[in-house]
Amino acid sequence: MKNLISLGLLRFPKKLTQDHFQLYDLIFKRFIASQMKEARVLYQKFMVSVDGNEVHMENPVSVVSQGFNVVLPVKTANPVREGEYAIKFARILKLPAARPFTQGEIIALMREKGIGRPSTYAKIVETILERNYAIDRNNKLINTPLGFKVYMYLCRNFGKYTSEETTRRLELLMDLVEQGKADYNEILKELYQEILEIRKAH
């Protein structure tokens, strides 16, 4: 986009800031990634035992086959070797009585509600875990205080734009572009206008 603006092919009534460019870059990459094939990622499953409490975890350790990760890289971790490790930090969490979802159940729910695509299901869950919005305990996803605060903030301030309905609408628009029934330039302009409305309101 910067090149198109510098060449005078794109013009805007106001000068765009770095935040504008970063947001456009995020939307563009997410859109392109949704049209790409799945990436095959190797995960390592392991169990951590602390004072008799066992937690089963899994980390992506390598990309076996390239796909959408070319645009949206998958963050991998070094394989964990079996042995004893010193505890650097520990925190006790009070958990609700309701049974939390597993990663598989979350993905099945997204598929049922028409949210996301096969190429992005795992990436969505991975991002939630990377940003510490939730933790994986015994293969159950449990929200963190940070995740709860982010969720409440988005609901209060941007509920219209983070709803399931809006997500499904964006998925439908991407399908129309993929099928050649819609112009992606017009869709990006429409999304940009919505973003401007958000800036004006906040």
What are the tokens at 70? 């070319």
**CATH topology for the 16-201 domain:** Topoisomerase I; domain 2 (1.10.460)
Predicted confidence (pLDDT) per residue in 121-176, tens digit: 888 888 999 999 999 988 889 899 999 999 998 888 888 888 888 888 888 888 88
pLDDT level of residue 94 (50, 70, 90 thresholds): low
CB 143 within 8 A of CB 133: yes
What are the tokens at 141? 């996803």
Give pLDDT, residue 72: 87
CB 17 within 8 A of CB 23: no
Q: Round the CA-based radius of gyration of the chain to a whole number and report it.
A: 20
More confident residue, 5 or 128: 128
Reported as type and span, the H/E element at residue 185 is helix 184-201
Q: Measured between alpha carbons, how far is 182 from 58 in angstroms, rounded to an integer? A: 40
Give pLDDT, residue 111: 86
Ramachandran sector of residue 39 (left: φ over 0; alpha: ψ -120 to 50; beta: rest) = beta
Structural domain boundaries in the chain: 16-201
The mean pLDDT of 186-196, rounded to a whole number, is 86
pLDDT level of residue 97 (50, 70, 90 thresholds): low
Contacts of 149 (CB under 8 A, 6+ apart): none
Reported as type and span, the H/E element at residue 105 is helix 103-113
HSE, CB side, 13 Å, CA atoms: give it for residue 170: 21
Which residues of the chain form beta strands (DSSP E)? 40-50, 53-65, 134-137, 140-143
